[in-house]
Structure 1
Amino acid sequence: MENPDHINSYVILGGGTAGWMSAAILARALEHTDAQITVIESPHVPSVGVGEATIPSIIDLLNYLNISQIDFVSQTDATFKLAIRFVDWLKQGTEYWHPFGKIGSQIDGIPFYQHWLKQQKIDPSFEFTDFSPAVALSKQNKFFIPDPKNPTNLSSTSHALHFDASKVAQYLQKYCLNKNVNIITDHLVETDLSIEGNIKTLHLESGRQLDADFFIDCSGQKALLIGKALRVGYDSWQDFLPVDSAVAMQTEKLDIIPPYTLSTAAEHGWRWQIPLQNRTGNGYVYASDYCNNEEAIESLIKHACTNSKAITDPKVIKFVTGKRKKMWHRNCLSVGLSTGFLEPLESTSIYLIMRAMLNFVQVLPSKSICEPSIKEYNRLIDDEYNSIRDFIVLHYCVTQRKDTKFWRMWQNLSIPDSLSEKLALFKSHGRLYKNPSDLFSQDSWYAVLEGMKVRPTSYDPLVDRSNFNLIKQSFIQTKQALWFNASETLNHEDYLKRIKRARMVN
């Protein structure tokens, strides 16, 4: 016998990546129940469609949804992503890598970074990311998925995807249809609240009225439910992250498709390049205080079209970095841009959609609102946003660039106290406090800190108990072995061709 307090109907306002990913996760979680899920997709609101780079958690999501990675890659023009290559961030003419997976291995129970730090004082010829399998593969345009049955020194790598966001939304829509999700193509006009303050009825442009037990707001920055109807406020982080605009455009596919995202620091922000099988995504994220839209478009076209032809017109996107004061309020959950915005420097937007919904399905509500559950949910998502914010600020706040007003601004800009405390701890002996809610591993922090030449005054004293002569030899051998084994793997594009062949066979 069903519990009458269980939620029987969910309405998701908005399609796009956020709406269809939310619907897919909810449908998967509720597939053996009688709960009805309805997605309202407006014919008047185009999808932003620029969230095309991800982090390794996307593979976890495909596994959760029981989606074949081969099928997904083939149908979304996806490519593989092993790392982000950062160019000109420390100063012009420099570059570093933020790879996925592990960098080195613990030695005598101490992080590899600490031993590398001691080695730097004697022989600075080794870069920290020389010991990353993902970087060894990326630099040679190779790709490899570890086989648990045949471990090698490349096995500690992990990968994410680049994909066509519009095709991902279409793919997930088909997935949802197969899970009996209802689709309504209509536009929200007005929202009615109950006496208690819950969302009760959505009035649509067609004249239709729609009631539900629970609502998920995927209406983008307009936040029509969580913001407009329920009046939940928004915390701006513009003081910490002043960029507030982006221009995006697509160009023809690259001659050689690299297995990484390229992020290049520019005059008033930074540019991205995301390689897909059928085309290339390009964008320029900038601060409008220092650069107007026309200048940004001109700059993007100049760099994106140097060796490639444009296939779409530039599209300007405005945003306010920050987050909603509550992501879940009463009988409404906000997901995606209705929740907040963090610039796509570390490709976290898809992850935050996924995390919002996976956390939600672990604490599915009843018709009787449980404030302690809502409070704990909001705390966890808040922590996620705060930790990602700090990691993004790190890329800017330690720069040595002073060539434009934008970069000179960063020499004196305030940073979050949580980041300031983390940097202070690191600068003493290279130690990092691990926040359980921090998306990024210690190796990720080490990679960016070293890439931006932020070094501690000394290494961990416990390192001195290890046999350093043996460690020095292992450094040489490990670097050479990684490079050689990476060279023996398939080229990235050959791997993609193998994926296509495998799908045709299946």
Structure 2
Amino acid sequence: MSEQPLNIVIVGGGTAGWMTANLLAKRWQHKAVKITLVESPDIGIIGVGEGSTPTLKRFFDDMQIAESDWMPACNATYKVSIRFDGWSPESGVNSYAHPFIGQLDTFSERAFYVNCMTRRLGLDVNVKPEDFLFNGWLANYYRSPKTPANFPFRIEYGYHFDSGLLGGFLQRYAQTQGVTHKALKITGVKYHPSGDIKELHTAEGQTIQGDVFIDCSGFRSLLLQQTLKVPFQSFGNNLFNDSAVVCATAPLTPLPVETRSTALSAGWAWQIPLTNRTGNGYVYSSAYLDPEQAEAELCKHLGLNRENTQIRHLKMNVGQVSEHWFKNCVAVGLAQGFIEPLEATALHLVQTSVEIFMDHYEKGGFSDQYRHAYNAVIRERFERVRDYIVAHYKLNTRNDSEYWRANRNNEALSESLLQLLDVWFRRGDLQQEIQRQKLDSHFGATSWHCLLAGYGAFPRLAANQPNTGDLYKEHNLETFFSGCLLNFAAQ
């Protein structure tokens, strides 16, 4: 770095903007870096309640922010699993869970894989993911994932939280770390002769100069897409959902430690338990359902009187930009792309995008030397997460609407996903195929087994059953996990 401070300007606040500010400030606290976040005072936060993967726990650990400080401020609860209801009824599976994977599961993952292979051979053995993974037990018994001091294994977990409150909390924390906040409306952009962004002009008459600009302006993508004209690549040919209708209901008692995703006629409904309320939403395709119908269906699903319910409508751009880092601008969050919220990957992609950017920027001596390598990595991350979400729709066995049949008949699948499904249905080694494709960056072998087994993606049972070979029984996993569960209290 030169003797002049590196001037980083973040455009847009919210959870993505302030998470970015905190990550940059923490990593480069001992370097000559100045961080300014500019957000319009006119633009509000969606704040519908959100869930995370365990990556967010690492973020707070890295920031040295205690759960006792941020969770009460954001009405947050623990999350150990995602439950899917009604996605594959014709297979005989009405509900399954995708628990987060922790250290305890090293004792049972192999048995889960073997049982899945045994079931693919037509034998009747237990393949319920929540039986083989300890977080499934925590979720079923409403137990907190916080481990007692004498418990020797680490439990992985995420959170449910009010995204509006979390953005505010992260803003206050970032300002204590030296981040400058400016509530200004950007009205213009000036360029260097190279095409890099030089400065921002605001309605209040201020000029904000920067060396690096981080676009966290949401779906508007003010800098990367609107100003620098980087194209957006839609995933609409294999992810149909583009809309959501949301509302809040009373808090649940007892508080679940899992998100619930329930298949409806043209999409699915989420249930996110917070301490003060329950966040609900219906993610759907506007090609198959209009907003009025979506409202009515969500209210019926929740048992609500539509006339007395506050409902909001949202639109989603599902896809990613062709280049996440272009010129001296990096897009983060909704400005870079979005994969629908089915597996709560949004903040995971924010966090990893910023961390990987910092790695590449440092490696290049605080230059754009590794910009193309960065873009390749992030594009790949988005595409592989997309594939995992697409598989939820492709494998569905619902026949109650054209929407579900169209998803099942959709042939717009990536080569990576086609190879995974081919290995599974040919009774090959799925773990080996995932390693071959180097897919462990987000959804690894256990997650894929959860999805495929959870959907009941198996052949018919063989006529003759030996009634042996069920490792769940032979390894006595029920006794093992039941004993472990005694160490955990209710949330």
Q: Tell me the TM-score normalised to structure 1 length.
A: 0.87
| Structure 2 partner of 1:363 | 360
8 Å CA contact 1:217–1:226 kept in 2: the answer is yes
8 Å CA contact 1:226–1:338 kept in 2: the answer is yes
Distance 1:228 1:170 in 2: 26
**Alignment of 1:112 onto 2:111:** yes
C-alpha distance 125-31 of structure 1, shift in aligned 2 (>3 A): closer
Partner letter of residue 85 of structure 2?
V
Task: Tell me which of 425, 447, 472 is aligned to 2:450.
Answer: 447
Distance 1:387 1:457 in 2: 30
| Structure 2 partner of 1:214 | 212
| Structure 1 partner of 2:382 | 385
| Structure 2 partner of 1:504 | none
Structure 1: gaps of 5 or more residues: 459-467, 493-506
Instruction: Note the aligned Cα RMSD (angstroms).
Output: 2.7
Partner letter of residue 125 of structure 2?
P
The Cα offsets for residues 279-309 of structure 1, whole Å up to 9 and x where unpaired, read as 1111000000111111112222232354999
Task: Tell me which of 314, 321, 324 is aligned to 1:324.
Answer: 321
Shift of 1:411: 2.7
8 Å CA contact 2:233–2:322 kept in 1: the answer is yes
Task: Tell me which of 194, 198, 204 is aligned to 1:196.
Answer: 194
- For the residue of structure 2 that corresponds to 1:303, the secondary structure is helix
C-alpha distance 136-371 of structure 1, shift in aligned 2 (>3 A): same
Shift of 1:440: 1.2
C-alpha distance 366-440 of structure 1, shift in aligned 2 (>3 A): closer
The Cα offsets for residues 146-188 of structure 1, whole Å up to 9 and x where unpaired, read as 458532xxx3641110011111111111111101111111111
| Structure 1 partner of 2:464 | none
The Cα offsets for residues 293-351 of structure 1, whole Å up to 9 and x where unpaired, read as 111122222323549997x7211111221000000011100000000011000000011
Deviating more after overlay: 120-129 vs 26-35: 120-129
Question: Superposed, which structure 2 residues align to 1:489-500 within 5 Å?
Answer: 489-492=488-491
8 Å CA contact 2:40–2:186 kept in 1: the answer is yes
- For the residue of structure 2 that corresponds to 1:333, the secondary structure is strand
Deviating more after overlay: 165-174 vs 422-431: 422-431
- For the residue of structure 1 that corresponds to 2:416, the secondary structure is helix
- For the residue of structure 2 that corresponds to 1:88, the secondary structure is strand
| Structure 2 partner of 1:239 | 237
Partner letter of residue 192 of structure 1?
K
Percent identity over the alignment is 31
Deviating more after overlay: 369-378 vs 241-250: 369-378
| Structure 2 partner of 1:172 | 170
- For the residue of structure 2 that corresponds to 1:89, the secondary structure is strand
How many corresponding residue pairs?
474
Distance 2:154 2:363 in 1: 41
Q: Tell me the TM-score normalised to structure 2 length.
A: 0.90
- For the residue of structure 1 that corresponds to 2:426, the secondary structure is helix
- For the residue of structure 2 that corresponds to 1:143, the secondary structure is coil
Distance 1:158 1:194 in 2: 46
8 Å CA contact 2:243–2:284 kept in 1: the answer is yes
Question: Superposed, which structure 2 residues align to 1:71-82 within 5 Å?
Answer: 71-82=69-80
Shift of 1:49: 2.1
Distance 2:271 2:125 in 1: 31
| Structure 1 partner of 2:279 | 281
Distance 1:192 1:54 in 2: 37
8 Å CA contact 1:215–1:331 kept in 2: the answer is yes
Partner letter of residue 161 of structure 1?
Y
Partner letter of residue 440 of structure 1?
F
Partner letter of residue 295 of structure 2?
I
Task: Tell me which of 296, 299, 321 is aligned to 2:297.
Answer: 299
| Structure 2 partner of 1:138 | 139
- For the residue of structure 2 that corresponds to 1:326, the secondary structure is coil
Distance 1:480 1:437 in 2: 30
Question: Superposed, which structure 2 residues align to 1:348-427 within 5 Å?
Answer: 348-364=345-361, 370-414=367-411, 415-427=413-425
C-alpha distance 137-43 of structure 1, shift in aligned 2 (>3 A): same
- For the residue of structure 2 that corresponds to 1:421, the secondary structure is helix
C-alpha distance 34-117 of structure 1, shift in aligned 2 (>3 A): closer
- For the residue of structure 2 that corresponds to 1:75, the secondary structure is helix
Partner letter of residue 142 of structure 2?
N
